[in-house]
Amino acid sequence: MTLLPDSLQASLLGMGLLQPGETCSAEPLTGGVASDIWYVRAGDREFCVKRALERLRVERDWRVPTHRNAFEVAWLEIAAGIAPDCVPRVLGHDSAAGIFAMEYFPPGRFRNWKQELSGGVVDLETVERLAGLLVRIHSATAHDSTLAARFDDGELFFQLRLEPYLHGAAEGHPEVRDRLLALSTQVAASRQVLVHGDVSPKNILVGEETIVLLDAECACLGDPAFDLAFCLNHLLLKCLWVPEASSLLLQAFERLAGRYLAAVDWEAPGPLERRVAELLPGLLLARVDGKSPVEYLEETAREVVRGFARQNLLSPPASLDQLSNNWRAVIVDHQRRVDRAGGQPGDTSSL
């Protein structure tokens, strides 16, 4: 434990979470690139404090205004009215400083989903809970004109997601540049539902009876296809990271997509599925050659992603089933080549 920086202590005093003269202990939490996050204990109370960073912690220069913190708070408050057990409670907000405090979830009661997946643990009940949570939030906020006053016009989402991911990947791949930019334009044009913007396994905590979705600083009114595609993308990438779990990960992909699409009630599910299927190859390429590449893939696996993404960007799949089957064939072929080269084998026999 260490002392909390003075600026954060001042914000907590203003929120009423600390009293004048009261001491607290704190510990910085790791894992994020866009914010400083601290675990704080004051007396018998414990909570987290989050401060948005202007320059994100990635290799390439990536700067975003810190007032995005207010949109995260807005998303958390709205989502709490829809699924109160599935998001952290906001305890206080210092909008001028870009700082807010929220409920803390102890690791003894909640597990990080990315850590579970990295160990080959793929719980389909967790997948079903996530599908249900996403579709509930999207459905409850669909075409709600009152939300526009709480979120910007999409500029921050462009800076946080579309520019660093799709535009960033386009810089190194001129053969699919037009396709990537067209996808960016398509996503930016939609303001259908309240989008989380970072539905990644690292932002999902798994409890005994619920899941908790964290880190909504990319929140905006947008295309629901982005949230679904963003998470499905991680399940595909982890087939290369944890090859022995690839069969289960593809089952998770199919379960998440199927349960979500079956509950869509604000538009016809067919067009939404096609948007997800078209966007996924772009997001795959973005996570190896955009501004925020995943840290866990070796170069041979990155080349697999590049080849698959380029092919499916130029010839977009008509459905998620088609994309999943295409991916299954690619990873089976990749694993055979790894095995022949004497690499670490993964069990893909059931694919």
Distances 89 to 104, 141, 214 between C-alpha atoms, Å = 9, 19, 11
Q: Average of pLDDT values for 130-142?
A: 98
Amino acid, single-letter form, for residue 198: D
Residue with tokens 């199927």: 258
Query: What residue spans of 215-319 are helical by DSSP H?
Result: 224-241, 246-262, 269-289, 299-314
pLDDT of residue 349: 40
Q: How many CB atoms are located within 10 Å of the residue 140 CB?
A: 16
CA torsion 277-224-303-308 (nearest 10°) is 0
> Nearest-CA neighbor of 265 among 139, 145, 133?
139
Q: Average of pLDDT values for 125-153?
A: 95
Q: How many CB atoms are located within 10 Å of the residue 59 CB?
A: 8
> Nearest-CA neighbor of 14 among 80, 97, 79?
97
d(CA 98, CA 152): 16
d(CA 305, CA 318): 19
Residues 6 or more apart whose CB falls under 8 angstroms from that of 301 comprise 240, 241, 334
Res 346 pLDDT > 70: no
d(CA 180, CA 279): 9
Pairing state between β 220-222 and 99-103: unpaired
pLDDT of residue 51: 87
Q: Average of pLDDT values for 97-118?
A: 95
Of the CA atoms within 13 Å of residue 295, those in its CB half-sphere come to 9
Rama region for 260: left / alpha / beta (φ>0; ψ in -120 to 50; rest): alpha
Residue with tokens 């893939």: 297
Res 348 pLDDT > 70: no
Distances 253 to 172, 180, 324 between C-alpha atoms, Å = 28, 23, 8
Pairing state between β 45-52 and 35-42: antiparallel
Residue with tokens 């401060």: 51
* Domains of the chain, earliest start first: 1-104 (3.30.200.20), 106-351 (3.90.1200.10)
CB 48 within 8 A of CB 40: yes
Res 345 pLDDT > 50: no
CB 70 within 8 A of CB 97: no
pLDDT of residue 322: 98
- pLDDT tens-digit series, residues 146-200: 998 898 778 889 999 999 999 999 999 999 999 999 999 999 999 999 999 999 9
Res 281 pLDDT > 50: yes
pLDDT of residue 344: 56
Phi, psi at residue 228, to the nearest 5°? -65, -45
Structure tokens at 220: 């905006």
